[in-house]
Amino acid sequence: MGAGDERRREGTMNNSRVRRPWRVAAAALIAGTVLLSSGCGHGDKTPSWQGGGDSQADGGTASATPSPTPTLSTVAVVTPAADAKDVVAISPIKYSSEDPENTTVTVTDAKGDEVKGVLDKDEKTWTPEKALAYGTKYTITVNGTASEGKNGSTTSAFTTMAKPSKVIRVTSFLGDGQKVGVGMPLIIKFSKSIPEKYRAEVERRMVVTATPAQTGTWGWISPTEVHYRPKVYWKANSKVFYKVSLAGVPLGSDYYGKSDLTVDLNIGRSFVMTVSNKSKQMTVKENGKVVKTIPVSLGKSATPSSSGTMIVMDKQKHTIFDTTDTDPVNGYKTPIDFAQRITWSGQFIHAAPWSEGKQGHTNVSHGCVNVSEAMGAWLFSRTLMGDPITVSGTEEKLKDGNGWTDWNISYDQFKKKSYL
């Protein structure tokens, strides 16, 4: 359902420490930088010059060869080492400088084209905007300020690693241009489990930008799935952009991220449903104002509805509920109108004309939120995927993971699912 993949454009709200003014534009990306070793330590460790004359056959003293005067510079490339091979394609370049504020770093490919990147003058690093091409030679030029006896520039070259054969795909449940409810979590999935030691770095490389700004966090649902939710419901009619930058990123056991992705989506109006088992009524608020009160029938004692906050995950105007596969004796096969799934275990909001006489008075369903045919149609015409519904007062509590249960726990509890 709207799954994104690597065909999306290449590109939470990370809290970065305060930088000087000239670093503000780079802060969001640098917060997600992978500070990896360059993977480039294969050079000869012996000195580049080994002075000393040849021994004389007659035992005479060897003539001394003067040591060449080294070329001094106020800047230097620290990593990758000069002419390093197999450098990880997303590695930052580390340099030294006697005058960081007046130092620039340029990286060019084999054609001489400049590569886009972000310069962090505090950390003295340059990080590529996206993963470099595999198996490609690049040249680094660092220009600083010359001083007496020292020049102000240096160059160095390195070659990136070959294209990896073991990759992990990243996909987004949501796609560009979708409009979702205020309770919609951002859902990212991986084609292979991400080892725990790499999850914090993965989170740093998943940047969420909301307009207007809103506080939120990622939380791991499983080794292959991570969700993002704001502290409170999304602000109505806001815009959300998120970027996952994992192309070329090491993810353990010789696996690397296959690609980057970006998603632009819209949050709709606030539409919040609250159901009380005590009153057998659903209260519907739109943008904070009560717009409808609807009689309901919830699950009977043998098949109670879950108490907790759930999210509309799927909508089907007409469908058939078939439980005969799991319960051949007591199962049923029933046509259903205006079904809106809220749990994986099979709880829905839906029209139930057969229970209209019980709605508002008695619970007779198999765990679903029964409403009348008219109210089922009314709700169905107004809800979005991602709209929240909270049920209270039933015999059973909503189990974690039985649906998109991100809102069924407090924000502080959800933050504990993060590895940052």
CA 73, CA 154: separation in Å to the nearest integer?
Answer: 7
Domain range 271-408, its CATH number among 3.30.70.270, 2.40.440.10, 2.30.110.10, 3.90.1150.10: 2.40.440.10
Q: How far is CA 300 from CA 206, 304, 314, 379, 410, in A?
A: 43, 5, 24, 23, 28
- Active-site residue, 40 included: no
pLDDT value at residue 303: 94
Q: Largest alpha-carbon pair distance within the chain? A: 119
Dig out the tokens for 82 from the structure.
């000069």
pLDDT value at residue 273: 98
- Active-site residue, 350 included: yes
Identify the segments of the chain with pLDDT beneath 50: 1-63
pLDDT tens digits along 43-70: 333 333 233 333 333 344 444 555 555 5
DSSP secondary structure letters along 75-139 = EEEEESPTTEEEE-TTPPEEEEESSGGG-EEEEE-TTSPBPPEEEETTTTEEEESSPPPTT-EEE
Q: Which CATH architecture has domain 167-268?
A: Sandwich (2.60)
**Scanning the structure block, which residue is given the tokens 């108490």?**
307
Domain range 33-38+72-163, its CATH number among 2.60.40.3780, 1.10.260.40, 1.10.1200.10, 3.30.450.20: 2.60.40.3780
Dig out the tokens for 242 from the structure.
């998120």
* Dihedrals phi, psi of 260, to nearest 5 degrees: -100, 165
CA 5, CA 260: separation in Å to the nearest integer?
Answer: 8
The one catalytic residue among 40, 227, 366, 368: 368
Please check whether the two domains, 33-38+72-163 and 167-268, share a CATH topology.
yes
Q: How many CB atoms lie within 10 A of CB 409?
A: 17
Locate the domains of the chain by residue range: 33-38+72-163, 167-268, 271-408
List the end-to-end C-alpha distance of the chain, in Å, as a whole number: 29
Of the candidates 273, 303, 312, the one whose C-alpha atom is nearest the C-alpha of residue 367 is 303
**DSSP β-bridge partners for residue 316:** 339
**DSSP β-bridge partners for residue 338:** none
pLDDT value at residue 81: 97
Considering the entire predicted model, what is its pTM? 0.78
**DSSP β-bridge partners for residue 180:** 267
Dig out the tokens for 407 from the structure.
């809102």
The one catalytic residue among 40, 227, 350, 366: 350
